[in-house]
A and B are shown apart, each in its own frame.
Chain A
């Protein structure tokens, strides 16, 4: 880390950036876009959450206890799992409503973080919070988005196209065959964001992490290599996570006799989406 080139940000600097958000909120109020309030709340939330994270990480980096790292990782997973569930218009009833997304995020994000820590980055100790927490956070954040979109597409389309699914079942298709086309659409929807961001990375957009690293003084080539590493890990994590989530959830939509059990989906009134 070349701390000599790191330009420290003063509260005034951040205040300047924050005033832009305030201006945007004012504009929204003027134009009656109805987004100003939510924008301010989100900006306030991110301020508190990131400052809190900064404090937590500061303490964590000093102690470097594996138990604390594990505890923070568990909290992150729990919140991400809730977020996935909250974003679905229709969700599985019972524990699977929370479990399908959370389990698949656990399977993908944790295993890929472990893989990266043990084979690629190899910090000492391997759970060193400077590496483990940011990496896990990056993976969880992205797999969360992919899984939420994939699951929402799966459950929504299953309800919309239930007559098609049952027509296929009545012809003797297995559950997998009957829901195949819906599964495929759901996976595609979940993976489009990461494919798009890999496609345009470096040409249209400078990815957030690389920007941050360059601003913080890292050499551009090093920043580019780290960004690539992250992109690949995210792609693998999002892909694996979405596949796992769609498999688990679509399994739950049928019973042992391969009947469609649409009563296992319940509408969730507070989720965003079509009414």
Chain B
């Protein structure tokens, strides 16, 4: 049950961004390459220094510690990174339901990270993030390397997660059809400036 509100966030590549995602809702962000989509998500997750404030429900980010905030408002990078040899050691508290829904067998935990395709890594990164039970997800092109079937799986897992816990999602996507499928409100980012689509 969480609501995310970004208030005049300014960082490297981001100019006074304002946006709001209601609890259980999903907003989409689109914009040309290099317009600052990744920088915006990183600034919201407090991975880069930024001015302005971000609110989770009624609590401003400044009342959280850095790690405490990122555990709640979780950023999923476009390219996932792993630090152990196999999937298993990363899989602390992973939910088998998520693995099933993302199209993996139980033996995925024994797989070698090096031998995963980028699409497999991307789907596993979602399982890894959901295991931390965040309140909000910041998704950076989460289906960029996926075929239609796996894109559908990821969209379904995220929709189910929103419905079950009331978490909110900010979803960066290049695909207009996907944005319409998954998101309510849409934002457009151009040269670091964010504006709602309906205001155009």
> Which residues of A pack against B, CB within 8 Å?
161, 163-164, 166-175, 181, 255-260
Contacts and interface: CB of A to CB of B under 8 A. Distances in A.
B132 interface: yes
Interface stretch (B80-88, B142-150, B164-172): B80-88
B77 A167 contact: yes
B70 A170 contact: yes
A173 B67 CA distance: 6
Interface in B87-137: 128-129, 132, 134
A259 B46 contact: yes
Interface string B49-82: 1000000000000000111101110111101111
Nearest to A181: B83
A163 B67 contact: no
Contact of A169 (B67, B76, B79, B128): B67
B81 A169 contact: no
A171 B125 CA distance: 10
A250 to B, nearest CB: 15
Given A257-B49, A260-B47, 20 more contacts: A161-B83, A163-B79, A163-B81, A167-B82, A168-B83, A169-B47, A169-B66, A170-B45, A170-B74, A170-B76, A171-B71, A171-B128, A171-B132, A172-B70, A172-B134, A173-B67, A174-B67, A256-B66, A257-B46, A259-B66
A25 B48 CA distance: 53
A171 B66 contact: no
A258 B66 contact: yes
A190 to B, nearest CB: 21
A175 B82 CA distance: 17
Nearest to B68: A172
Contact of B83 (A167, A258, A259): A167
| Residue from A163, A257, A259 having most chain B Cβ neighbours under 10 A | A257
A166 B68 CA distance: 15
B65 A258 contact: yes
Contacts of B68: 172
Nearest to B128: A171
B153 to A, nearest CB: 21
Nearest to A178: B67
| Residue from B46, B48, B79, B81 having most chain A Cβ neighbours under 10 A | B81
Contact of A164 (B66, B74, B83): B83
B158 to A, nearest CB: 17
Contacts of A173: 67
A171 B47 contact: no
| Residue from A172, A174, A175 having most chain B Cβ neighbours under 10 A | A172
Please give me the 3 A-B residue pairs with the lowest Cβ-Cβ distance, nearest first: A172-B71, A257-B66, A258-B66
Given A167-B82, A168-B83, A181-B83, A259 B49 contact: yes
B82 A170 contact: no
B11 to A, nearest CB: 11
B146 to A, nearest CB: 19
21 contacts: A164-B81, A164-B82, A164-B83, A166-B77, A167-B82, A170-B70, A171-B71, A171-B74, A171-B128, A171-B129, A172-B70, A172-B132, A173-B67, A174-B67, A175-B67, A255-B49, A257-B46, A257-B49, A257-B66, A259-B47, A259-B48
Given A172-B132, A259-B49, A166 B67 contact: no
Contacts of A175: 67
B35 to A, nearest CB: 21
A173 B79 CA distance: 18
A24 B47 CA distance: 54
A170 B77 contact: yes
A146 to B, nearest CB: 25
Contacts of A168: 83
A167 B66 contact: no
A161 B82 CA distance: 10
Contacts of B46: 257, 259
Contacts of A259: 46-49, 66
A172 B67 contact: yes
A143 B128 CA distance: 41
A92 B153 CA distance: 45
A168 B45 CA distance: 13
B131 to A, nearest CB: 9
